[in-house]
Structure 1
Amino acid sequence: MGLFSYLGREFFYLKELLRVTREVGWIKPDSETLTPDHLEDIVDRHSGLPVFITETGDISYAEYDAYANRVAHWALGQGLKPGDTVALFLTNRWEYIALWYGLSKVGVVSALVNYQLRGASLAHCLSISGASTVILEDELKDAFDSACDEIGCEMAPWYLDRTAAPEGAGDFDEAIAGQPADRPSREHRAHLRARDACLKMYTSGTTGMPKAAPLAHTRVMYYLNIFSAGCNAGPGDRMFMVLPLYHSTGGLCGVGCAISRGGALIVRKKFSASLFWDEVQRYRATLFMYVGELCRFLLSTPPNPAEDDHDIRCIIGNGLRPDIWVEFQKRFAIPRIMEFYGATEGNVGLVNLDSRPGAIGRIPPWLEWRFNVALAAFDYETEQPVRGPDGFCRKAEPGEVGEAIGRIDPNDTRFRFEGYQNKEETAKKILRDVFETGDAWFRTGDLMKRDKAGYFYFVDRVGDTFRWRSENVSTNEVAEAIGRFPGVQQANVYGVEVQGYPGRAGMAALVVAPDFDLAGLRAHIHEALPAYARPVFIRLQQETDTTGTFKFRKVDLVKQGYDPKTVKDPLWFDDDEKGYIALKPALFTAINDGTKRL
């Protein structure tokens, strides 16, 4: 890079970081300004503009606030007090945002529950929410009942969209229809401070049951503003929202891009790859949030004239893999991609401001002192950061993989870690005496590497990386390599134990196009990956199991392994001499008794 290019890049980063920092610098833990105060101020400045765009019409900022006020008065009428929790079990709809906004006006905390859960997993989330009341939709009644069967639910249910509420349940629409639309007295929340809880969100549950994470008003306001500042949003912007509103990426970061600066949110019930560009065009969207495999789903759809005639100027999200980044941006003519890294409950945040393909963010070396992020050298055997003879950890060198950790500072909004409701789970995420005695750092559980210019690149989740043939295998890097082969629509890579072998052998669960060239895939893998990283087993699925935010679930896949008696999908074994051969019971037995060597 030439001198002028270098100076131009650094000036751009300094200017953008200063601008973004100014936008959130007012958010302080001890402040009396809470999320509802911030949102009421926004409403007052944009009351006549549309805030939600729906199939049945637009909702203005004033109408949004009036609905939230009715919710607040309803909560007071129910005897709910500041600090009490109400669970929201709803699909995407504009009222979702108005509900938690209204409850926050009187200090009530909303627990945002994944509407895709059923049975034991839903019962778990409801139980740990601490809620005495749940607001839900009619179409989710069966799911709610399945959870109640598990735990003998004692929550008071209130239904939206019901002509007649079930026996013992409340009709929420009818209940708030008669409530006043004026703002409740601020006295109901006057004793609260920005460090206090506003919402409860849940971890994604990719590796086990979800954990509840209280989000302080500081964190909520930070999320609502940071990305609207990053993409320089304004009243003319329209955010196309297909991500679930119970998650921070869609429900706070994406919502904030729209409403924090007078823009509008186009709320869609769910993501549809086939309808996506038609609806983006129809509603004149200028922004959209992506996550996980959403971009790969879009890339696998047939060409659509609408994809060449849209107003999208920036997309924001995380999980856009390097293997499709350039192709995605070129095909859909996306001017700017703002990839970011963060966790709902975590204190580590990175943003890629200049759309560098594959990077999840950048911290220029000369600005490291302004951030709390470090990469700690990592031991794959113990799955812990490396400690030297002095007992302290070592920072990873440029190009070296390390675990991303964030220094905890309770006095800085950006660097706080509120933890989970479960104290033991909270303790597991804190690393102490890291670089000096007495310091404390949040463990992200994510492995990354950083180049000399300060760009960060995601490598894998701790626990997903496994050992095979005395080498470390990154599931993420293997999945990216496989994903570059034509016809691979989704690739979920993990390690499975094989009797008689140390470590774990690689296995890839794939969703592929019709008439897929399996032999061609093997040739591609053998050319793209070293021997130790090549999947030994291939599983062909009709669809992958993902979370509501398109993250792959691997726990069940790992448990099922490669046993053809357990796995009903087609299984293939990479034979050194014959290529991929069907994995039948006889071959499975031969592998496990040592007759067939890997």
Structure 2
Amino acid sequence: MKRGRSEWSVYLSAVGPILKALPLLRLRADSRHTIADYIERQVAKYADLPFILFEDRRITYREYNAMANRIAHWGLSVGLKAGDTIGFMMENRAEYVPVWSGFSKIGVKAALINTNLVGASVVHALEVAGAERLLLGPECAPNVADAALSNLPVYVLPEEGAADAGVPGAEDIRRALAEQPDSDPDAALRASVCTGDSAFHIYTSGTTGLPKATNFNHQKLMAGGVSGALLGLGKGEVVYCPLPLYHSAGGIGAVMIAMGAGGAVAVAREFSASRFWDDVRRYDAKGVIYIGELCRFLLNRPPDPRDGEHGLRWMFGIGLRADVWEPFQERFRIPRIVEGYGATEANVGGVNFSGKVGSVGKIRGGLLLRYDIERDELVRDAKGRYVECGPGEAGELLGRIPAGSKRMLRQFQGYTDPEATERKILRDVKKPGDAYFRSGDLLRRDDKGYYYFVDRIGDTFRWKGENVSTQEVAEALSAFPGVETANVYGVEVPGQEG
């Protein structure tokens, strides 16, 4: 079983696409090149190749662009303009990516709301993103039935071929979309949008408090297109995405890997352990985007004679525990597992191309500081200085924020809430005036420079691939009659991720 390749061999094999992408990676924050420009460039190159595969639908790059353009023109027709934000809540469907892509063409940011949220949690998500409207899939209507949306305009977009939505208080936009032109909107409509501005908002629970809306800039989104070359995805090949499109792993990772390579993303409506391998074979997928929980679910299923019958070359994701990694790779005959580490808002991360079991790779620009779990604080020495970890010692990972640097991939843009952003920055760490992003994660590094995830710190816990805010759970429990106070904290559950 092939375990992986050296990091340098991976980069050398992709040197051509990386060199072509350098102009994008070197864009200044104040340049005017956005994800909409990137989309239109890729569409021109791969127009008639498949881009989105969903159940029995096959959507080419040209058709995807037309869908996005209708969304853009509809947005203009209802008064949306560059700089506005619209809440977007939809389960995995063929329309998902065209919707946020269309909004980007007129400089509008979509706030990608978790479809597990209901009521007050949806209201909070809209408020922290500054969303002035909400677009729903009708499948999410029950999520907002009890939400206090006041005068917020709500729109609903059913699936192609579905019956009229009939969602109370919401306007069905399907007919209005059909009347819109499918031509690219004038790029001047987004002329005020810069490369360093937010392309859309994705939510994270962070380490404290309620979920926050992250600022995810255009360059960071476009940079995801390089990943396809590093993973070896070819033009016309398929990456399978069984993860929610409102999260960065699926919605950015899978989509941009495919788009950057001229490939296709096969989107599952939801993860199903029983259908997973049938889907992989059906789409002839060459790659899969995973989270560790997914791999454990698959491994726990009864053995099947067809377990190793597929055309996969790699699986790329996060959160695969060492005790699952090897049995999973052996049983399902996965040629390469590429485990990574990162967070939606982070300026630091790693990718393990070498296949070293349990590792998230070598993290450049990272700093591990000793952390006292009992006191819930970083350790200082007798002179008040932070203490760096040695090999084998767990500590909190920090990412250096370069002062005055125009390299946006190393900057920390944080959240829509400036105070929440500032709370994630640690200053005067190694010298006066420096600044570092606090990941809220404990990692350790071995003597060869490989990093390993250890645990999450703070007031959140992981469950079924989601970061869950203990404050949100406590507030939900406190709403029940007879509950005066609720205190929630995470515990380790044997046989479960998180």
- In structure 2, what is the Cα distance between the partners aligned to 1:185 and 1:362? 43
In structure 2, the CA distance between the partners of 1:554 and 1:359, relative to structure 1 (3 Å rule), is farther
- In structure 1, what is the Cα distance between the partners aligned to 2:444 and 2:91? 37
Q: What code does the residue aligned with 1:339 have?
A: E
In structure 2, the CA distance between the partners of 1:237 and 1:206, relative to structure 1 (3 Å rule), is farther
- In structure 1, what is the Cα distance between the partners aligned to 2:431 and 2:136? 48
- RCO greater where, 1 or 2, for CA within 8 Å and sep 6 or more? 2
Question: Corresponding residue for 2:439?
Answer: 444
Contact 1:293–1:550 at 8 Å: present in 2 too? no
- The 5 A counterparts of 1:95-114 are 95-114=95-114
Q: Deviation string for 1:43-70 (max 9, x for gaps)?
A: 1000001111122331110000011111
Question: Corresponding residue for 2:152?
Answer: 155
Question: Corresponding residue for 2:358?
Answer: 358
Question: Corresponding residue for 1:332?
Answer: 332
Question: Corresponding residue for 2:202?
Answer: 201
The alignment status of 1:383 with 2:376, answered yes or no, reads: yes
Contact 1:159–1:170 at 8 Å: present in 2 too? yes
Q: What code does the residue aligned with 1:39 have?
A: I
Q: What code does the residue aligned with 2:399 have?
A: G
In structure 2, the CA distance between the partners of 1:550 and 1:23, relative to structure 1 (3 Å rule), is farther
The secondary structure found in structure 2 opposite 1:348 is coil
The alignment status of 1:403 with 2:320, answered yes or no, reads: no
Question: Corresponding residue for 2:480?
Answer: none
The secondary structure found in structure 2 opposite 1:260 is helix
Question: Corresponding residue for 1:278?
Answer: 278
Q: What code does the residue aligned with 2:422 have?
A: A
In structure 2, the CA distance between the partners of 1:437 and 1:208, relative to structure 1 (3 Å rule), is closer
In structure 2, the CA distance between the partners of 1:17 and 1:458, relative to structure 1 (3 Å rule), is farther
RMSD: 2.5
Q: Deviation string for 1:505-526 (max 9, x for gaps)?
A: xxxxxxxxxxxxxxxxxxxxxx
Question: Corresponding residue for 2:51?
Answer: 51
- In structure 2, the gaps of 5 or more residues are 478-482, 484-498
In structure 2, the CA distance between the partners of 1:184 and 1:553, relative to structure 1 (3 Å rule), is closer
Q: What code does the residue aligned with 1:427 have?
A: E
Kindly state the Cα deviation for residue 21 of structure 1 after the two structures are TM-superposed. 5.8
Contact 2:205–2:468 at 8 Å: present in 1 too? no
> Which has the higher Rg, Structure 1 or Structure 2?
1
Contact 2:241–2:266 at 8 Å: present in 1 too? yes
Q: What code does the residue aligned with 2:378 have?
A: P
In structure 2, the CA distance between the partners of 1:123 and 1:192, relative to structure 1 (3 Å rule), is closer
Which stretch has the larger CA shift, 391-400 or 31-40? 391-400
- In structure 2, what is the Cα distance between the partners aligned to 1:242 and 1:23? 30
Kindly state the Cα deviation for residue 154 of structure 1 after the two structures are TM-superposed. 2.3
Q: What code does the residue aligned with 2:369 have?
A: A
Question: Corresponding residue for 2:215?
Answer: 214
In structure 2, the CA distance between the partners of 1:247 and 1:10, relative to structure 1 (3 Å rule), is closer
Q: Deviation string for 1:453-481 (max 9, x for gaps)?
A: 1100111112489xxxxxxxxxxxxxxxx
Q: What code does the residue aligned with 2:410 have?
A: F
Contact 1:87–1:133 at 8 Å: present in 2 too? yes
- In structure 1, the gaps of 5 or more residues are 1-7, 364-370, 466-493, 495-544, 561-565, 567-598
TM-score computed with the length of structure 2 as normaliser? 0.87
In structure 2, the CA distance between the partners of 1:442 and 1:52, relative to structure 1 (3 Å rule), is same
- The 5 A counterparts of 1:140-539 are 140-147=140-147, 151-161=148-158, 163=164, 165-166=166-167, 168-204=169-205, 208-222=209-223, 224-363=224-363, 371-409=364-402, 410-463=405-458
Kindly state the Cα deviation for residue 445 of structure 1 after the two structures are TM-superposed. 0.7
The secondary structure found in structure 2 opposite 1:125 is helix
Kindly state the Cα deviation for residue 388 of structure 1 after the two structures are TM-superposed. 3.1
Kindly state the Cα deviation for residue 146 of structure 1 after the two structures are TM-superposed. 2.0
Question: Corresponding residue for 1:522?
Answer: none
Contact 2:138–2:167 at 8 Å: present in 1 too? no
Contact 2:112–2:203 at 8 Å: present in 1 too? yes
Kindly state the Cα deviation for residue 168 of structure 1 after the two structures are TM-superposed. 4.5
- In structure 2, what is the Cα distance between the partners aligned to 1:96 and 1:76? 19
The secondary structure found in structure 2 opposite 1:308 is coil
- In structure 2, what is the Cα distance between the partners aligned to 1:111 and 1:259? 21
Contact 2:82–2:192 at 8 Å: present in 1 too? no
TM-score computed with the length of structure 1 as normaliser? 0.73
- In structure 2, what is the Cα distance between the partners aligned to 1:297 and 1:356? 22
Q: Deviation string for 1:321-371 (max 9, x for gaps)?
A: 0011100000000000111100001111100011110001114xxxxxxx3
The secondary structure found in structure 1 opposite 2:126 is helix
In structure 2, the CA distance between the partners of 1:100 and 1:10, relative to structure 1 (3 Å rule), is closer
The secondary structure found in structure 2 opposite 1:139 is helix
Kindly state the Cα deviation for residue 235 of structure 1 after the two structures are TM-superposed. 1.4
- In structure 1, what is the Cα distance between the partners aligned to 2:336 and 2:380? 40
Kindly state the Cα deviation for residue 123 of structure 1 after the two structures are TM-superposed. 2.1
Q: Deviation string for 1:522-580 (max 9, x for gaps)?
A: xxxxxxxxxxxxxxxxxxxxxxx935x355777769x99xxxxx9xxxxxxxxxxxxxx
Kindly state the Cα deviation for residue 18 of structure 1 after the two structures are TM-superposed. 6.5
In structure 2, the CA distance between the partners of 1:297 and 1:206, relative to structure 1 (3 Å rule), is farther
